[in-house]
Amino acid sequence: MKITFLGTGTSQGVPVIGSSHPVCLSRDPKDKRLRSSVLIEKNGKFFLIDCSPDFRYQMLRNNNEKIDAIFITHEHQDHIGGLDDVRPISNNMNKSIPIYALRRVLDNLKIRYYYFFSGKKNTTNINLFEIDKYKKFFFVEEYCKIFLLYVYHGDLPILGFRIDNFAYITDASKIPCSTIDSLNKLDILVINVLRKKPLHHSHFTLSESLNIIHQINPKKTYLTHVSHLLGFHEKIQEKLPKNVYLAYDGLVINSS
């Protein structure tokens, strides 16, 4: 299974428009972060987790042109803002692309992207599939088992996803014990980190993320949804524990 980090930044991306923060002015490509999303290739199929406002550029930059399914963690703009750009992909593949999300999220999509469902020609060819909030998993392409990871983004219940021994969690500020228990024997964990301090009401800080990593004890962890306030990529990476890595846009990793 191949995982490509399409974007690793927060809702504003890095650099932030108009910011003179040193990280925003960095010339290191690893300090340039589009909004967070990953593309997973498994058995010749391509699964997208979240569809950021930067989706079009991300797909062009990484020379990707296929999507077989989209999994949405939650309905905030930085996670769904690129859905209109799914249109050429569905047209070129000559197939409808399924989107999997909680009912609350699907209801939000129907309002924000009402023109998808107008019945007129040339609208984006997608199908919505509700994820029952009480389910532990669902199947895609009849063979790929997707486990649901229930976490909290502030007071908002959102989803992470586990495929085989790979798990992706973003925008979390609390992970219930039941979800922690479902993350045993991971090869790769991807989890969000906003900044070092102060604490944030809806995102993990670095110390909080490292505490969760310690509890789960995966073989490797990659940090994503990173703010410029965390610091320079290379300097942060030097201080991270063994087998914990700061993800960056375009990074490709493999999981068994």
In tens, the pLDDT along 59-102 reads 999 999 999 999 999 999 999 999 999 999 999 999 999 999 99
Nearest residue to 74 via CA among 97, 98, 41, 101 = 101
Indicate which CATH number applies to the domain containing 174. Answer: 3.60.15.10
On the question of a cis peptide bond just before residue 198, with omega within 30 degrees of 0, the verdict is yes
Average pLDDT of the chain to the nearest whole number: 95
- pLDDT classification of 6: cutoffs 50, 70, 90: very high
Q: Is the dihedral of CA 39, 40, 45, 51 positive or negative?
A: negative
Question: For residue 21, what pLDDT is reported?
Answer: 98
In the chain, the number of structural domains is 1
Q: Distance between the two ends of the chain, CA-based, in angstroms?
A: 6
Q: What is the pLDDT of residue 116?
A: 86
DSSP letter at 165? T
Residue 122, pLDDT score: 52
Q: Residue 206's pLDDT is what?
A: 98
Q: Which residue range(s) make up the domain with 134? A: 2-254
pLDDT score of 121 more than 60: no
pLDDT tens string 202-240: 999 999 999 999 999 999 999 999 999 999 999 999 999
The pTM for the full model equals: 0.96
What band does 120 get if pLDDT is binned at 50, 70 and 90?
low
How far, in Å, are 75, 89, 119, 127, 232 from residue 112 at the CA level?
A: 10, 20, 16, 15, 36
